[in-house]
Chain A
């Protein structure tokens, strides 16, 4: 039973399209995150939500919009896709964002390729 699951695992799309990536966690955690991993494996946080409320919004273009319908789901919608958006996107969750020692559990990643 997968703890943090993302769909799709692979996504190939043309420039200018709009796409969504879905994430669900069954761990009962309060906090969920989106991270972007570039081609050099560098990981950078994009957003985090705690109990459906946005708490971290790093410098990310407005074309990226997270949506959290409930605390078990955090979806990422991307408008007007650009070549530079090609990356692996990871969803993660943790028990409580306020507890800094809490580990994060990661999904398998979604490899987005924009052509």
Chain B
């Protein structure tokens, strides 16, 4: 079945460092891809999405490009802030539902 694989965390960075969180997927057909973020004690919020190959989703300085050839949707940000500390989930749409990766915790220190 369809699945999403994310790098294990936690990812620990200093403020202003460059961030990459890897995400690869397995799917039949052409799913849409998403990154959701979960701040402590809150629900998930959509961060960005891409609906077809080579699309780039972006929001709040975060970017991810839908790479069909490598089945990847890596999340990047050029300069992280302490306020970016959260758990990040990669997800794909499959048969009318979202399938999530295991989540990657990001900790940013001043």
Contact = CB atoms under 8 A, between A and B. Distances in A.
A66 interface: no
B96 A55 contact: yes
B89 A43 contact: yes
A40 B102 contact: yes
B102 A100 contact: no
B102 A104 contact: no
Nearest to A107: B43
A106 B43 contact: yes
Interface in B1-55: 31-32, 34, 36, 38, 41-46, 49, 51
A42 B49 contact: no
Interface of B: 31-32, 34, 36, 38, 41-46, 49, 51, 87, 89, 93-100, 102-103, 105
A-B residue pairs, 10 tightest by C-beta: A106-B43, A100-B93, A97-B96, A101-B32, A41-B103, A43-B100, A101-B51, A106-B44, A103-B46, A108-B43
